[in-house]
Structure 1
Amino acid sequence: MSRIALKLNGNKLALDALAKLNTNRQHHKLFSTNSQSGRLAGKVALITGAASGIGKAAAIRFIENGAKVLLADVQDHLGKSIAKDLGPNATYIHSNVTNEQEISSAVDHAVAQYGRLDVMYNNVGIIGEFQPTILDLELEGFDRTMKVNVHSTVAGIKHASRVMIPRQAGSIICTASTTAILGGMANHDYAVSKAAVIGLVKSTAAELNQHGIRVNCISPHALPTPLAVNFFKKRLGIDDEKMVVEMIHNMWEFNGARCEAADVAEAAVFLASDDAKYISGHNLVVDAGFTCFKRLNFSP
């Protein structure tokens, strides 16, 4: 838009017409699905938890960058609707990630449809139930959080590797969290599960390097995804969604920007692309420096 604007050299009528055209296009589709260029041009990607939040944002950015994307989720109505909006390069597939066979089938579906799998994004996760102390922790709930957040990630890496090793290439991305880096920011089951994801990434990267497969993770700070908003509404007893969104944003303030799902999606595009061809075993933290420092308190 900026280059076109410069060429038009201040022609207000032309600029207004161009702005109107762009607005109309956005009403019809999320974006153009005809792009043959981009950082992920020609790549095939499978994204779990793609019907909302970070997964949805990643699906949008991946397709904008030229990828063909399989959206895996259990929210069938949402997933099918999003895939339809994204156009012919998007396919929805029902996949319950707590079932290894369904993850395996999703990977096989990608290979059957497109002949290969270039990118596996293990994004799905749950926050778990809020239990304020270790004494309140119910191990049944802990096991469920580990099942969704860790077991599914192990299965995703396992089955993505199964089809990537023969090709000696691939990028596997996992969603971790800043709660795995600093203690006290989340309930124990969630924090432990995300710490396990970071450890898993390092462990599998060490093995898969010899096959040309990169394994990385992204650790976002708190952001207002539907999952987080619903969790905090319940935890804080607040029904006002806008208020909860504002509270999540204010958990850490960075002058000039706020963390959105699209920011995490952009990080995933980078890790999935050939621009990151020599990056593996890395935890890319998207938190505006929140986990890097603490300010000294000089109050008497």
Structure 2
Amino acid sequence: MSWGVATIVVAAVIGLVLAYVYYNPPGQEQAVSFYTDDANAIRVGEEVRMAGIKVGTVTRLTLEPNQVLVQSKIDNQAFVGDQSQVDVRMLTVVGGYYVNLASMGNAPLGNQKIPASRVTMPYSLIRTLADTTKITEHVDTKPLNESLNQISQGLTGTNVQVVATTIDAGNALMSTVERQRGQVTEILNLSDEYIRALAQYRDKFTQLVRKVSIATQTMVIYDKGISQTLQGLGEVLLAIKPLADTYEAHQAEFVEKIRDYLERGRSFVERNGLTIRALKRVQNLFDRILNAQNADPGLLATDLCVPVPGSAC
């Protein structure tokens, strides 16, 4: 009897050990559980992966009042932190899912369960359609209905002409813009024609600049000489003034004529200076025109200096 009882006890212990090893095989003794509000994509036996590597399987689904508890067994050597997240992903394009476990946190998860806020399920059309109703569930439709009715009434009868008038005004505006664009094009074409004509007249400008420079330099060279000549003539006339004293009756008239001659000479000298400055301005104008066309006339008479008595270089 003793041997029989001992044999039964040993057999029971061995059975319990084998059952425990069967349900909790070595290397997969760690339990990880999480909550979700939709377990449609999860089945018992689905793979649990970490970083793409299989570490366990889903062992049980338990329905609770407001959520579903998903239990799994994973490799005891895999560390699961207390801030871990779960997302259920598609296994292939044609179907199938697996549970992806992202370990986060420094402390181990232990017996805690991952809340639904850190669990992401695959795309669900039903959930999407249900969520769309939340966008408009608090919208008051009465003001929108009244606004649409007022717009509809405003576009009836003669008010429809307002839309047509607005369209006509827009067409008139665009026609004006088109016409102004044509005018700008004509102005540009005229400017191009003027530039082409100016380019063809370049040689004439060059010759004209050369002649102006020659005339300018000639007047500059002889300007001081003419001035000194007139001044000397005035001094000679003043020197012979005593000879006119014998003609007392004509003295005043003689002196007046001398002064008149001197005044005319001074006026001529002043006008000569103005003429030189005017010619220089004309030459500068032509020089700018030729410079704009990259057509420098080259060496001009005004670039040279010829020393003459009274006008040194």
TM-score interval, smaller chain: under 0.3
TM-score by length of structure 1 reads 0.20
Specify which structure has the higher proportion of helix: 2
Q: Which of 1 and 2 has greater Rg?
A: 2
